Amino acid sequence: MLSTRSGVRPLGAADLDAFLDLAGRDPVVNVFADYRARTTNLEPRWLGGEMWGRFDGGDLVAACHVGANLVPVQAGPDDARAFAERALSRGRTVSTIVGPHAAVEALWEGVAPGWDRPREARWRQPHLEIAGPPEIEPDPRVRRTTRQDMPELYPACVAMYTEEVGVSPEHGGGAELYRARVTQLMNRGWSFAAFEDDRLIFKAEVACASPHAAQIQGVWVPPDQRGHGLAAHGMAAVVEMVRAEVAPVVSLYVNEWNEPARRAYARVGFAETARFSTVMF
């Protein structure tokens, strides 16, 4: 049922085509929501939450993924305020708000009066894309990971997450769930790493993918191995494999202050196409 004030309602399987058309207006930026829609058919039991849609004259004009993450899709300021109004009515159930900067900023301004203070807010993170071959030589050691790699891979994933987010994924009893996620990506062929003398020296994963794009997460090099080009050449290998076998465009977003990472991605051939923001609770 539509809210008379905002024209917002949860989407379902009957709305899938309209939602995919909406996400397709910017398919690389919207790859996460596109992936979630395709893999769940917009069924709440598979989403683990809801996908809200905002309508104008019967047409779907904006959407918002509401699960562990609150992710706006093609949302202008008025749309974001409408989604924020609905989010306020149910209380905070998400751990992050993430997406294009302007929409996230408007969402946060809308929910801030009723939600607790965020643990951290990262504004204007460069969103990067590459739609062609890498501009530097790929590291030939990079390959898909297997279960035999878990003794090296899993601690690296925990270290990356802790360094990036500021809290361990194992905190509060989350180890089993996080290990399952690492294994899931491995089983999909979405986990990549390079090893030297049986030691992991680079890793990255595909977080989500659609027919249009794949988004990379978890890029990590051990601290004592940084500064030697491992990230750049490792990412060149990931780009080459992902574009050949997963999706034609590879994307990611990076913290604005992470100059070494931004330089590495620029060497590979990534170009900035948007700015994201992430509000973490």
pLDDT of residue 6: 67
Same domain, yes or no: 270 and 134: yes
281 in a domain, yes or no? no
Q: Can you give the CATH number for the domain in which 105 is found? A: 3.40.630.30
Q: Is 250 found in the same domain as 169?
A: yes
Domain span at 241: 130-275
**Alpha helices, H only, 94-165:** 101-111, 150-165
In angstroms, the CA 265 to CA 213 distance is 17
Per the DSSP assignment, residues forming a β-bridge with 70 are 66, 97
Q: Is residue 125 a part of any domain in this protein?
A: no
Whether 110 and 169 share a structural domain = no
Which residue, of 57, 87, 117, is where some domain finishes?
117
Please, are residues 33 and 24 in contact by the beta-carbon 8 Å criterion? no
Which residue positions in the chain have pLDDT lower than 50?
A: 1-4
Do both 136 and 110 map to the same domain? Answer: no
* Whether residue 253 is found in the same domain as residue 135: yes
